[in-house]
Structure 1
């Protein structure tokens, strides 16, 4: 390995990583399988990637060409050198608008490609649910589909030509091969000509076998596409290679056909008595040629309802226990709606069966919400609130749509016989593809043996219906062993010949499709029970109180590998670095390896885990946006608490982590402290001693704290709406007391009697974020005791700083699992929540105006922003809410020397450009002290204001 690493470093312009952390981050994909790679290569150019393959060939080492790593059947993990193309090799090289074709590098992410095409009204046809993370090369490797395949076909239908690289160094463009092209290749001679000759021989030898044994099915994703070599299909080598899962060639570039975006869409939802009856109706619905024809059952609905009880999308479903979601396109909204109505009218005429209930969604925003609900299927069912955790393994078989209802009834009986009932059924029913995770026991030998029996019987069932073991996710390791049951041994032998033509040494992603590892081999869960620490600081209520369970929660869908244009919060450091290890998924993989204990063997002391967590901004975006609610901020705090136990910490943990204490001390002489921290020469020394970047301006301490101002303002009469407690957090009290004063003005104008605790209270946030959880517990417990009498009396506690409010709402009850803490948590509200819940009839006179709002990450993740929108609208403000991710300051993170560049890069991803573009009359709203600090550092001279300040100013102006 050391020699291989050195050779790669000499040949590769990029990153060559054989360290434990990188190998851990790439050890799994979104499947049940785990294979630790030899090393990881991240090439800067395609040519460098080619050189990396050459080095591996010289050392006779296997290669895994990887894109987004979202594969569900084990295609993207192997004991090989992993080449990750997604960071640097993802350019759209050309767009031919008139010819509706593009040339793109294999590492390009689908959503990024579609973003480039959007201006010309075009898009790539297939769109799997992993569209945020999956790459074009990965989609080609997997023959990806998605809901849009109903109208636009699989990835193979979009591929015109491919530039490929074989393990033995052949690099060429391939596509349809007529006689003239075949003659040209033979004239050129060499290894490429040999490949073409062998392929023609294979075609001629197996032509009738392929024609008779391949299912006639649009969703046949299993096996190799030998049918594309047939004369009637133009001996199309490019399309024959689609779906080969990296076992034959590396896809460097692709020329794709693209399609026009529908000018308008309309979504009709049909409700049936059960999912089987819904499946029976599929042929009648599909006859109307919708863009997409999806399904979900009652179990899926109940799981979504349990996780998101107030999701408006769930209210749009008509009565039933099985639903079809049918999307139509048209040149106008009226045309799309008319097509939907024609379909519903035809179904209501019926064929003797009861007509379905139906609903029509005319609002594109509501349609998108419902579509996102359907796309979230994997995450929703992975950890059901009741019942066992579910897994992939048998999750995407496809049968002819006209036989789907009968197949589902038999499949349901099979699930019951094996004890796998009560799991969800959903999928792309328009093409007969059925999804659904199962409550498998993959930890014990008996459970794994049951899983094997179930998979074998399921394969036989699908084959009896003329179906495909995989209708979307591919074979990988989960299904490859079962291919003889679907195709028969002679076809599988032909697959072996096809593999040997391109990869005679079996070095391209070995063990998948051909000569496969067993489906019950390399299982990540086999005999794996996480090494649980003797004690933890957080309670992990969603994970049975176990840190080990939390550390293995990630299911690998890659939604955290976001891009700026997508909006949302997570994962800010990944958006900047484009590093797998800096995504929520990558960090989760290292934590999983830590509690596994065989690759990362030093547990809490692991420097690999520490380094992966170092750039986590603790934004909590993953807590809300991750499909399975991974909470990396909490895991990071827990890890740091153990990692630095009885050890010297980074200096910033003492300076920024103990900020509440330093602020309290500074309040005795704030002007003197400011002179020390703001005078240029002295300031540099202070920053150096505190571990703060010299490029950061230190915040000024207020001349008078908010609590001191409140004590001296005199007695105010009782309010008409009762009492509220205004909690003066460290930031509002010591740095921005004007926020507290404005909040008092607003609350009293709304009719509340405002109380401020007579003692300084802190939630412990800065100690939590730096992993000093023992101190955080004590500080938080003191604040809970002080607030408890008001909470017991039913008095709401109003928080002004979003991150501190979020501590009481989420971290607090998990750090201090007491009835008192939970009661204070229930009583704690944001200012906007209080005004919405207890003063919704207050209609203040206000001139309104325009507001650009930067939502604090913790507010987005924990409290949400709906109440703020409503209050601003009540005051007459036109609010533009930024949806461009974290500001990058994130408390102590943006102040620290080693994090400054990432912090600024995060701001440049969205916040700073928006501030620069904001109009002079547009107020900039930022409730978070960190967000306001970052806005002040934008170089524009603009400053952010808290909601309380904007509302108070509006009241004064009237």
Structure 2
């Protein structure tokens, strides 16, 4: 087998224009999707063009190797993992071939993300109709493979209803356009066999295929019937890569609603909400979604969509109904008419911002239910059934009783596309014991019997994959099963397309729903001793590595912070999900066998910026920055580290030495030959300019400080972090003035201390722990006196608020420090300090660690109270991220991250706008980008505004970014 795979790999590399990967790390990353299943692929091909993918299939055909197409890899039923060559379309094959606004059609390649395509069609007022909750990262190819739907399918139907033609390739090499009447280029023999199949099984198809909006289970054999136009494209949609490889698709586009309105109804239970669905359907909404009180409780517990949850009317089950119209009056009129008709427990929204917030409550469903603190773990399997909408209430009651019988009901939320009778739920299956797995199988079989008794479908949009393919006979009966096998045989007679999934030609069942489990009764991962405590994961690093459920939100292309390295590289291994998969495989030990010493894991983590964006943006709160630090600590234990770990990891120590002769150090950094030597010795990117040390450290200059004001609000301790103290002391000088004007008395630590950030980010956790222990001793008197600690550098503040307690979970002083640490904005906001007037345009770039740990809410309230015309950028990570952007070989990725959204947004900002960036990294990246902007810290902005208010002068508007003080001297 090894020699065969070696030959296959060599041929693929020789003939395919793309990236060919047969290494264990890549195979591990693609071994699972968002399902319960795991199968290690033979290899991975990332084609650069459609023709390259055709050649890859040809090579596999010549060597009799199975093939599997993959889009975003978010499938919940196991259809995206198999022992095959995986073709990943999402990196390169994402082109829009044609948009024809006259015919309202688009031709696209399979790797394009839905939101990216809709952004292109938006200029014509058009869009793709179906919109799954994963719309910002799911691919068109994946949507075609699963016959995706989403909430808007209420108005526009499933993907099969929106496909006009498919450019497809069979494993045998036939390529043609499938469409109505069979399509163009369909070989005569295939066409004849398909027509014959439709004729022979027509009556059984009509009898056994349920007439409901969301029948996604089974091949679409009904599309072959004459009354449905013998539409082969429709028939192939939803076939989950088991029949053909989709190369391009011609899609029907629909007109975007010009206006939308939302109304939400509350009911005593989700069952009564479901009962009300038939009353609403005659009003023809764009979307009709249901959510229950468990989902809302889970979102509250996970701090998701907090503002939106407060907008819900009273109830324990809710229907969210959206209407569209050509005008706002028309859309709002429809919503108001329904609200007037139903009346009770209703909230009507005509504010687009509130509508979006409410919609996020529903779209967060999968992530909110997947990993809930203090609950049992929940899994897919029976997450996607569908019945006729008029039967939904009764079906939910019966399913809930079945869940109660098996002990699954307590942790299972019920929600979904109620207007189409489609239910989503995750269930607390025990997938790690033999008895639990037996119970899982038994429940699945009984649930299948239940939904079929309602003439429903095993799947309403996720497809069947391995989770439900075995149950097809329950739904379709023995007489129709041969028709599915014959249909597959027309396209894949050798069973090389995603083999073993959905159906087999031999008559044997496909993979069982309880085999190939990612966990299973033999699941026994290594659970090594760690530095961090992982309190949210029961103290287990293995459980933390299991946290990722494959939702793939880290692969989205805009908004939020997660995941900057994926956006820069479009590589699965550089996504949060890819890294989590490798850590899981490392602890499992089946494929990654060298544990903490794994080079594959180290390579994937190398481009992790440790921005912490995933800690807040990931629906299950994967904290890759912490996992990276943990891994590095063990990976380099007893070994030489990269040079950057000694230079930037020990920056606080070097900065104290540099403070003895800062002018001499700065001169060396400005001398080309010495600068190059310093960078080479320190593992620093030659493209980077080294920041200048300040002539005097803030903490030393503060000794001569004469307090301003009476300190009537009490005492605060200002934390002199390494970056502010040694490089930008002017920020701290401004902060002291602001705090004292606000009525606080300011003090500093009685001795030099550090938060340990740089040692944490480079995985030198033993040193970090000792540094934090010393800091705890230095601050003990202030901590126990309850004195607030004010942090100016967000990353250092985040250490006190998050990393330090996780490293030292039993140190009460560290926990007190966590609870007493505040950002400047938080302190001023909590004490009701009236800020000085800031009547100007302000563009703010929140630091990633602040976004993840402290949030930006207090800053927003403070700035808006000051009268600022505030724009808070949703531009992701700046790309510098502490030591990351300074490290050798990271410069290109660092700048790609900055150019993804931040720098373009700043270039487009008004000339006179003040750019606000509290993070040293953010300010440095912006200044070194050469775009003519000089960002300031919040303390500097408030200080200047207060000075202007006191002097009676107006803040200066003409400059791009005023500097109230020279940061390196602390003087104006």
Q: Does 2:838 match 1:834?
A: no
Is the contact between residue 64 and residue 76 of structure 1 (CA under 8 Å) also seen in structure 2?
A: yes
Q: State the Cα distance separating 1:369 from its structure 2 match.
A: 1.2
Count, aligned residues: 938
User: Could you tell me how far apart the structure 1 residues matched to 2:710 and 2:529 are?
Assistant: 47
User: Could you tell me how far apart the structure 2 residues matched to 1:330 and 1:918 are?
Assistant: 33
Q: Does 2:404 match 1:400?
A: no
User: Could you tell me how far apart the structure 2 residues matched to 1:500 and 1:929 are?
Assistant: 62
User: SS of the counterpart of 1:296?
Assistant: strand
User: SS of the counterpart of 1:394?
Assistant: coil
Q: Which stretch shifts more, 536-545 or 307-316? A: 307-316
Pair 1:918–1:783, CA change in 2 (3 A): same
Is the contact between residue 89 and residue 105 of structure 1 (CA under 8 Å) also seen in structure 2?
A: yes
Partner of 2:264: 269
RMSD of aligned residue pairs (Cα, Å): 1.3
Q: State the Cα distance separating 1:714 from its structure 2 match.
A: 3.2
User: SS of the counterpart of 1:489?
Assistant: coil
Is the contact between residue 756 and residue 772 of structure 2 (CA under 8 Å) also seen in structure 1?
A: yes
User: Could you tell me how far apart the structure 2 residues matched to 1:259 and 1:559 are?
Assistant: 26
User: SS of the counterpart of 1:886?
Assistant: coil
Partner of 1:19: 23
User: SS of the counterpart of 2:230?
Assistant: coil
Deviations 1:660-689 (A, max 9, x none): 000011111111111112211211111111
Q: State the Cα distance separating 1:367 from its structure 2 match.
A: 1.5
User: Could you tell me how far apart the structure 2 residues matched to 1:22 and 1:528 are?
Assistant: 24
Alignment of 1:200-239 (within 5 A): 200-239=195-234
Q: State the Cα distance separating 1:881 from its structure 2 match.
A: 1.6
Select the residue among 42, 47, 54 that pairs with 2:58: 54
Q: State the Cα distance separating 1:874 from its structure 2 match.
A: 2.4
User: Could you tell me how far apart the structure 2 residues matched to 1:156 and 1:843 are?
Assistant: 57
Partner of 1:362: 350
User: Could you tell me how far apart the structure 1 residues matched to 2:119 and 2:535 are?
Assistant: 39
User: SS of the counterpart of 1:637?
Assistant: helix
Partner of 1:526: 520
Partner of 2:113: 109
Q: Does 2:113 match 1:125?
A: no
Partner of 2:531: 537
Q: Does 2:176 match 1:172?
A: yes
Query: Which stretches of structure 1, 4 residues or more, deviate above 6 A after TM superposition?
Result: none
Q: Does 2:824 match 1:824?
A: no
User: Could you tell me how far apart the structure 2 residues matched to 1:230 and 1:323 are?
Assistant: 39
Partner of 2:684: 692
Partner of 2:331: 336
Q: Does 2:673 match 1:681?
A: yes
Partner of 1:192: 187
Partner of 1:384: 372
Select the residue among 604, 611, 619 that pairs with 2:611: 619
Is the contact between residue 708 and residue 740 of structure 2 (CA under 8 Å) also seen in structure 1?
A: no
Select the residue among 299, 305, 308 that pairs with 2:303: 308
User: SS of the counterpart of 1:798?
Assistant: strand
Deviations 1:39-59 (A, max 9, x none): 000000000000000000000
Deviations 1:308-354 (A, max 9, x none): 28801111111111111111111222221211121122224xxxxxx
Partner of 1:895: 886
User: Could you tell me how far apart the structure 2 residues matched to 1:847 and 1:558 are?
Assistant: 40
Partner of 1:352: none
User: SS of the counterpart of 2:889?
Assistant: helix
User: Could you tell me how far apart the structure 2 residues matched to 1:150 and 1:604 are?
Assistant: 49
Is the contact between residue 847 and residue 957 of structure 1 (CA under 8 Å) also seen in structure 2?
A: no
Select the residue among 552, 559, 563 that pairs with 1:567: 559
Q: State the Cα distance separating 1:716 from its structure 2 match.
A: 4.9
User: Could you tell me how far apart the structure 2 residues matched to 1:128 and 1:696 are?
Assistant: 42
Partner of 1:353: none
Is the contact between residue 784 and residue 820 of structure 1 (CA under 8 Å) also seen in structure 2?
A: yes
Q: Does 2:884 match 1:872?
A: no
User: SS of the counterpart of 1:287?
Assistant: helix
Deviations 1:224-278 (A, max 9, x none): 0000011111110000100100100011111111111111111111111111111
Q: State the Cα distance separating 1:883 from its structure 2 match.
A: 0.9
User: SS of the counterpart of 1:897?
Assistant: coil
Structure 1 unmatched ranges of 5 or more: 186-190, 349-355
Q: Does 2:237 match 1:248?
A: no
Deviations 1:537-572 (A, max 9, x none): 101111001000001110001100021xx2111100
User: Could you tell me how far apart the structure 2 residues matched to 1:611 and 1:213 are?
Assistant: 51
Is the contact between residue 835 and residue 862 of structure 2 (CA under 8 Å) also seen in structure 1?
A: no
Is the contact between residue 708 and residue 741 of structure 2 (CA under 8 Å) also seen in structure 1?
A: no
Q: Does 2:270 match 1:280?
A: no
User: Could you tell me how far apart the structure 2 residues matched to 1:322 and 1:879 are?
Assistant: 37
Partner of 1:427: 416
Is the contact between residue 709 and residue 741 of structure 2 (CA under 8 Å) also seen in structure 1?
A: no
Is the contact between residue 70 and residue 133 of structure 1 (CA under 8 Å) also seen in structure 2?
A: no
User: SS of the counterpart of 1:64?
Assistant: strand
Select the residue among 398, 420, 425 that pairs with 1:410: 398
Alignment of 1:461-860 (within 5 A): 461-515=450-504, 516-563=510-557, 566-716=558-708, 718-817=710-809, 818-838=811-831, 840-844=832-836, 846-860=837-851
User: SS of the counterpart of 2:133?
Assistant: coil
Q: Which stretch shifts more, 477-486 or 913-922? A: 913-922
| TM-score for both structures, normalised by structure 2 | 0.95
Is the contact between residue 74 and residue 477 of structure 1 (CA under 8 Å) also seen in structure 2?
A: yes
User: Could you tell me how far apart the structure 2 residues matched to 1:274 and 1:656 are?
Assistant: 56
User: Could you tell me how far apart the structure 1 residues matched to 2:198 and 2:456 are?
Assistant: 23
Q: State the Cα distance separating 1:810 from its structure 2 match.
A: 0.7
Q: Does 2:379 match 1:375?
A: no
Is the contact between residue 788 and residue 824 of structure 1 (CA under 8 Å) also seen in structure 2?
A: no
Deviations 1:904-955 (A, max 9, x none): 1111112222333333311111111111110111113422211111111111
Deviations 1:50-72 (A, max 9, x none): 00000000000000000000000
Partner of 2:969: none
Partner of 2:160: 156
User: SS of the counterpart of 2:467?
Assistant: coil
| TM-score for both structures, normalised by structure 1 | 0.97
Deviations 1:175-224 (A, max 9, x none): 0017xx7xx85xxxxx8221111111111111111111110011000000
Q: State the Cα distance separating 1:527 from its structure 2 match.
A: 2.5
Deviations 1:156-180 (A, max 9, x none): 01000110011011111110017xx
User: SS of the counterpart of 2:858?
Assistant: helix
User: SS of the counterpart of 2:246?
Assistant: strand
Select the residue among 450, 454, 457 that pairs with 2:443: 454
Pair 1:920–1:357, CA change in 2 (3 A): closer
User: Could you tell me how far apart the structure 1 residues matched to 2:755 and 2:273 are?
Assistant: 52
User: SS of the counterpart of 2:694?
Assistant: coil
User: Could you tell me how far apart the structure 1 residues matched to 2:172 and 2:552 are?
Assistant: 32
